[in-house]
């Protein structure tokens, strides 16, 4: 094989080289992945459903096609697991909810169709915070997902299973969703890469919604290149998703390996570096210096409207937009409130009481924040900040949504693409994430900067001992 690492921890490019050279088969890879699931699941609980037979059929088909000379591209034969709010025909999709435990969709989500066309293999459906409404993935119906670095700690959420599985090699990559940070938070807390594309870049058709104006779907992976390759497979216009952007999706990996000379990094100190714990701040400051050493210019930028809102509202603005979640769940919440976990029920009751005028004003403010962000990004190429204020809290601490999502949620509100990459560890050895944001639909530059930083530092090569 390409390296001494087990196949479950190889990069997508390394796996692809081995598959095409005959050193590894997709069937061998899927068996190794299923064995890794068996090995790690009793401790992590990252999966709700393991689709072993389905994965074996897909892997055999990939082997047959490659042997016949049909190459579907970088994901051909690669195990990509799905957050269990992505519809899969004939396979349960629960949303992490007791209500939907027996739900079996009759059609695939758009991203499942695209992954199948790319030849990817699906080993299973991943555990999450109930209905994606929280940051812990401590699911009352399917059990808590545990952080692979310390099993008493939270993996973050809502895509906690998606991050944990990638971190330990029970999937080569995974799909998550992000409404207030739900890809980037678990990526940061579990030491992997999480890429939230521009709003509208990836179709959400067939993905259970939380908030139609904030929901994004994207990949989690062990490297920026792997995340870019998965994004390439799932991105593109879908006329059956009203929020899908009717514009071409360029190759997100096109500029990987280019230097950072000529690029300008913006540091939004207020509010996206405020109230950050010292180990996180120190690691992210070192990351900024690494970007400077790679040739990027660094300057501080201001987001005064966002800063003012954060001081005045303390999260109420984002909660107003989540009134859309209250609308989606209104009937079920009215008829069977006890069917929800306590934390999600309380959150839904809270957003269900948002007055229409508050919601409308929040939408107006959202447009102003988009304008402010666009203006700032006209003078810099990317924005850089910590992904979260702190490292992984204990599961017993509960949902620290205000602390974990405060820095990530503005990017959902403005719709710009953002990525979290590992950038250090705290004194307990828990991972720290660096967040990079870019202009709308500029995932190429986003991945270029993230990859340059990643390759210049050792953090992405750390793996939990599990």
Active site residue 182: yes
User: Tens digit of pLDDT for each residue in 351-362?
Assistant: 999 999 999 999
* 313 has a pLDDT exceeding 80: no
pLDDT of 318 reads 77
Task: Give the mean model confidence (pLDDT) for residues 322-326.
Answer: 94
The values of phi and psi at residue 438, to 5°, are: -135, 180
Which of 11, 25, 27, 83 is catalytic? The answer is: 83
* 220 has a pLDDT exceeding 60: yes
Look over the chain and give the mean of its residue pLDDT values, rounded to a whole number. Answer: 96
- pTM here is 0.97
Contact between 244 and 206 under an 8 Å Cβ cutoff? The reply is no
Active site residue 420: no
Contact between 386 and 281 under an 8 Å Cβ cutoff? The reply is yes
User: Tens digit of pLDDT for each residue in 89-143?
Assistant: 999 999 999 999 999 999 999 999 999 999 999 999 999 999 999 999 999 999 9
pLDDT of 284 reads 98
- Of all residues in the chain, the percent with pLDDT exceeding 90 is 93
Which of 11, 170, 172, 182 is catalytic? The answer is: 182
User: Tens digit of pLDDT for each residue in 8-58?
Assistant: 999 999 999 999 999 999 999 999 999 999 999 999 999 999 999 999 999
* 3 has a pLDDT exceeding 80: no
User: Tens digit of pLDDT for each residue in 294-306?
Assistant: 999 999 999 999 9
Active site residue 83: yes
User: Tens digit of pLDDT for each residue in 366-386?
Assistant: 999 999 999 999 999 999 999
Which of 25, 158, 244, 385 is catalytic? The answer is: 158
pLDDT of 1 reads 43
pLDDT of 81 reads 99
């Amino acid at each position: 094989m390409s390296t001494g690492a087990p196949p479950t921890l190889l990069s997508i490019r390394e796996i692809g080289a081995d598959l095409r050279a005959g050193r590894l088969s997709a069937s061998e890879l899927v068996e190794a992945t299923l064995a890794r699931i068996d090995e790690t699941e009793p401790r992590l609980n990252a999966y709700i459903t393991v689709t072993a037979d389905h994965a074996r059929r897909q892997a055999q088909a990939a082997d047959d096609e490659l042997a016949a000379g049909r190459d579907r591209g970088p994901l051909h034969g690669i195990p990509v697991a799905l957050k269990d709010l992505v519809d899969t025909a004939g396979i349960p999709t629960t949303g992490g909810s007791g209500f939907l435990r027996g739900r079996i969709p009759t059609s695939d989500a758009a991203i499942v169709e695209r992954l199948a066309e790319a030849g990817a293999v699906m080993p299973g459906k991943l555990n999450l915070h109930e209905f994606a409404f929280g940051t812990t993935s401590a699911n009352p119906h399917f059990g808590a997902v545990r952080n692979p670095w310390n099993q008493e700690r939270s993996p973050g959420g809502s895509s906690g299973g998606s991050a944990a599985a990638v971190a330990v090699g029970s999937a080569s990559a995974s799909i998550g969703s992000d409404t207030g940070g739900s890809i980037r938070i678990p990526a940061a807390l579990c030491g992997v890469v999480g890429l939230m594309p521009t709003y509208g870049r990836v179709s959400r058709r067939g993905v259970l919604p939380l908030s139609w104006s904030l929901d994004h779907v994207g990949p989690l992976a062990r490297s920026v290149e792997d995340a870019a390759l998965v994004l390439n497979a799932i991105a593109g216009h879908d006329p059956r998703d009203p929020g899908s952007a009717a514009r071409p999706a360029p190759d997100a990996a096109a500029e990987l390996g280019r230097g950072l000379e000529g690029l300008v990094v913006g540091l939004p100190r207020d509010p996206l570096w405020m109230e950050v714990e010292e180990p996180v701040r120190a690691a992210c400051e070192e990351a900024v210096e690494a970007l400077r050493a790679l040739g990027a210019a660094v300057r501080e930028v201001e987001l005064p409207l966002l800063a003012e809102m954060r001081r005045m509202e303390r999260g109420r603005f984002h909660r107003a937009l989540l009134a859309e979640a209250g609308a989606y769940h209104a009937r079920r919440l009215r008829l069977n409130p006890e069917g929800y976990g306590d934390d999600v029920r309380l959150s839904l009751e809270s957003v269900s009481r948002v007055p229409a005028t508050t919601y409308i004003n929040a939408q107006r403010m959202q447009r102003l924040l988009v304008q402010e962000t666009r203006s700032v990004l006209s003078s810099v190429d990317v924005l850089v900040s910590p992904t979260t204020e702190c490292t992984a809290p204990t599961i017993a601490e509960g949902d620290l949504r205000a602390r974990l999502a405060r820095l990530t949620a503005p990017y959902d509100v403005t719709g710009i693409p953002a990525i979290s990459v590992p950038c250090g560890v705290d004194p307990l050895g828990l991972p720290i994430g660096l967040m990079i944001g870019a202009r709308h639909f500029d995932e190429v530059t986003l991945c270029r900067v993230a990859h340059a930083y990643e390759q210049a530092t050792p953090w992405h090569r750390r793996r939990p001992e599990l």
